[in-house]
Amino acid sequence: MGHYENFPVASWLCPPRLRPAIAAIYAFARTADDIADEGDAAAAERLADLRALRHDLRAAADGTHDSGRWAPVFQALRPVLRDFSLPIAPLEQLLDAFEQDVRFTAAASRYQTDAQLLDYCTRSANPIGRLLLHLYDIHDAHSLIQSDQICSALQLINFWQDLSVDLARGRWYPSVQAMQQHLVKDSDLQAHQLCAPASSLIAHYVVQARERMQQGAPLALRIPGRAGWELRLVVQGGLCILDKIAALNHESWRVRPRISLIDLPVLLWRAWRMGRAPD
């Protein structure tokens, strides 16, 4: 998941009182991500470490965790669990997603349908948004649904942005069903050449992610203050990546699109425009 690079972490827009809590959640997620994805450990070792991390998480939530391999992570997370009554279920869902990543990579498994891929997003991305809403004391069902839409969109955008990187590492996120529908072969996504069917496949996924992001975007207008502005920029950052993929003729298996400082004025303008009525 690229260390949640589509999520600003304890940014300057975040309310200062929440920055330590957000940083602690991020540190936990990044630690789990590193266990699942970094280095050359075997799958069995990665899964054992993720189980140990889950055990320590539950111990920290029970107030019985004092030390261990990840002591700094839990020293920061423990007061957040306590002071904000933070639920651990979303954190465990993240671990479920990381374990699935390890198993899929080890077995060279594929997502058979887009529905399966979206189900993965409910555990790999949506918990982050729900944890942040909990910190902001937002719990209504409508906000949770819109948060899920934004987070799933961000995860999907990350997949199509990082397609060239993931494919080289043996991680296939385009579903078997979608590839068959668009007449795309594995070799079409591994070659540095033009391929109309592959462009059609990625265009399909860009439309899917854009629709999901636009459905969730109104949440950013209902969250007050700096947190709402941060979410506006998250939304616009995701949409900007989709625009860049489209500008590449959807050939992100050849070139990885990036956001740079040059894009910042446009992102700020679009974030500001979100709060204005259409002309």
Q: Are 152 and 122 in contact (CB under 8 A)?
A: yes
Closest CA to 161 of 256, 238, 236: 256
Q: What is the Cα–Cα distance from 106 to 101, expressed in whole angstroms?
A: 8
Domain ranges of the chain: 1-109, 110-279
If you search the block for the tokens 């280095």, which residue do you land on?
Answer: 39
pLDDT at residue 9 in the model: 45
Q: Phi-psi bin for 85: left (phi > 0), alpha (psi -120 to 50), beta?
A: left
Average pLDDT, the chain: 91
* pLDDT for position 224: 85
Name which of 73, 72, 74, 52 is nearest 63 in CA terms.
74
Per-residue pLDDT tens for 151-164? Answer: 999 999 999 999 99
pTM tops 0.85: yes
C-alpha 182 chain-centroid distance: 26
Nearest one of 57, 52, 132 to 99, comparing CA atoms? 52
Per the model's pLDDT, the better-predicted residue between 124 and 224 turns out to be 124
Options 1.10.101.10, 1.10.1740.10, 1.10.600.10, 3.90.380.10; CATH of 110-279? 1.10.600.10
CATH superfamily of domain region 1-109: Farnesyl Diphosphate Synthase (1.10.600.10)
Q: What is the pLDDT of residues 180-204, one digit of tens each?
A: 999 999 999 988 889 999 999 999 9
pLDDT of residue 11: 58
The total number of residues written for the chain in this structure? 279
pLDDT at 232: 93
How many Å apart are CA 249 and CA 162, to the nearest integer?
Answer: 15
pLDDT in tens, 4-44: 444 454 455 677 889 999 999 999 999 999 999 888 999 99
Q: Mean pLDDT across the stretch 247-256?
A: 96
Q: Which residue has the tokens 């007061």?
A: 79
Q: What is the DSSP string of 93-147?
A: HHHHHHHHHHHHHHHT----SHHHHHHHHHHHTHHHHHHHHHHTT---HHHHHHH
What is the distance between the alpha carbons of residues 36 and 161, in angstroms, rounded to a whole number?
A: 20
Q: Whole-angstrom Cα distance, residue 61 to residue 82?
A: 8
CB 158, CB 6: distance < 8 Å: yes
Structure tokens at 114: 């887009």
* Residue 240 confidence (pLDDT) above 70: yes
Give, rounded to a whole angstrom, the gap between the first and last alpha carbons of the chain. Answer: 38
Residue 254 confidence (pLDDT): 95
Distance CA(183)–CA(174), nearest Å, equals 12
Q: What are the Cα distances from residue 216, in Å, to 144, 145, 221, 277?
A: 9, 8, 10, 17
Q: What pLDDT was estimated at residue 243?
A: 98
Q: If you ran DSSP here, which 8-state letter would residue 39 be given? A: S
